Amino acid sequence: MGHQVIIFDFSLIRGLWETRVKKNKERQRKEKERLEKSSLEKIKQEWNFILECRKKGIPQSKYLKNGFADTDKKILDTYGKTPQLQKKRALPDEANKERNKFIFHLSGEQWTEFPDSLKEQIYLKEWHVYNTMIETIPAYIALFQDLRVLELSKNRINHLPVEIGCLKNLKVLNVSFNNLKSVPPELGDCENLEKLDLSGNMEITELPFELSNLKQVTVVDVSANKFHSIPICVLRMSNLQWLDISSNNLKDLPEDIDRLDQLQTLLLQKNKLTYLPRALVNMPKLSLLVVSGDDLVEIPTAVCESTTGLKFVSLKDSPVETIVCKDTEEIVESEREREQFEKEFMKAYIEDLKERDSAPSYTTKVLLSLQL
């Protein structure tokens, strides 16, 4: 018996795969067209365009017509070349170089720890570290007594060292979108802190009572975590003007929330609130209140019909499609990305509200359905 030789008709196989490839490309083309025509994609494009205009310092009147964004790319190019804008942006080289001597920048996923040379630069006033794989902050940070700004967003930091309490001159602490699960009580020793951003860590459930000592804090952002209530220490921050505790597990608000008599902005969307306390009416400086959720059925009439100029915004949440995924880390990262995008969306939306002096104070319903 001789060898069996199987002969394939390669033209048939090639034709079969070409047909499959064509069908797949056709499906991709139709999906792309569907997304391009969808209202969500248009909203996303408009908000990205608005954010870019804001970053370039372009006046709102240049890109908004009758309340709608004019997404003509020529606006970005033309205005970017305007001598007036270039002149406004220009800083004296010498002054800029002098300032940069006191600022440390680090980014890139190749970094898994801080460079050894950093410990010798204790004269620094600002750290800006983002998008790295760094997990820990070195204990020698206690030596940086002149540190004013500590921006450590979008890294892998899993805890704050107790030495952070030694930074008596620290004014800004941003450790958003990291892997923190708790905050050390020693942070309460940073008596000059003005801005605290712990957003997007996904796992923080409480703050230590010692943070009540932070009497200079005006901005607190703890959104996208797992708080079940507003921390007691936050209620004792007497100068607080901005509180973002959205995307948590709040079921109710404290009845004494009006002790925050300096509060101007309160963001509560994406929680599990069923009612709003009447105490909100007693907050004289509250100018923007944002809520959401179908469970919120009890809202004081005085809040909706406030005569103090309060802008009350009710966001209508749309169900986000659940992505089936076996990898827990991938699910968390997807959630982080969505939270980051929604935060940029809300930031632009709030700035737009503030610029519109004639904005009504009655309830405004906005559809918030952002998917990445």
State the pLDDT at residue 18. Answer: 67
- Collapsing DSSP to helix, strand or coil, 315 comes out as strand
How far, in Å, are 79, 99, 232, 292, 323 from residue 62 at the CA level?
9, 32, 44, 32, 39
Q: How far apart are CA 349 and CA 353, in angstroms?
A: 6
pLDDT in tens, 300-323: 887 777 666 788 888 875 444 433
For residue 193, count CB atoms less than 10 angstroms from its CB and return exposed for 0-12, middle for 13-18, buried for 19 or more: buried
State the pLDDT at residue 67. Answer: 59
For a pLDDT cut of 70, what percent of the chain falls above it?
74
Tell which wins on pLDDT, 16 or 140.
140
Q: What's the number of CA atoms in the CB half-sphere (13 Å) around residue 46? A: 15
Mean pLDDT along residues 134-163: 97
Instruction: Give the ranges where 229-327 is alpha helix by DSSP (H).
Output: 232-235, 301-304
Count CB neighbours of 1 within 10 A: 3
Q: How far apart are CA 139 and CA 256, in angstroms?
A: 38
Tell which wins on pLDDT, 329 or 291.
291
State the pLDDT at residue 105. Answer: 95
Tell which wins on pLDDT, 207 or 364.
207
Query: Domain extents for the chain?
Result: 11-73, 94-249
Mean pLDDT along residues 152-162: 97
Amino acid of residue 214: L
State the pLDDT at residue 272. Answer: 92
For residue 284, count CB atoms less than 10 angstroms from its CB and return exposed for 0-12, middle for 13-18, buried for 19 or more: exposed
The closest alpha carbon to 272, from 289, 303, 294, 244, belongs to 294
Is the pLDDT score of 156 beyond 60? yes
- Considering the segment(s) 94-249 as one domain, its CATH architecture is Alpha-Beta Horseshoe (3.80)
pLDDT-derived band at 369, boundaries 50, 70, 90: very low
State the pLDDT at residue 294. Answer: 73
Whether the CB-CB separation of 202 and 332 falls below 8 Å is answered with yes
pLDDT in tens, 223-276: 999 999 999 999 999 999 999 999 999 999 999 999 999 999 999 999 999 999
| 110-123 burial: b if 16+ Cβ within 10 Å, else e | eeeebeeebeeeee
Contacts of 300 (CB under 8 A, 6+ apart): 276, 277, 278, 280, 281
Whether the CB-CB separation of 353 and 359 falls below 8 Å is answered with yes
In the block, which residue shows the tokens 């997304």? 35
Mean pLDDT along residues 95-121: 90
The DSSP code for 275 is B
Is the pLDDT score of 30 beyond 90? no
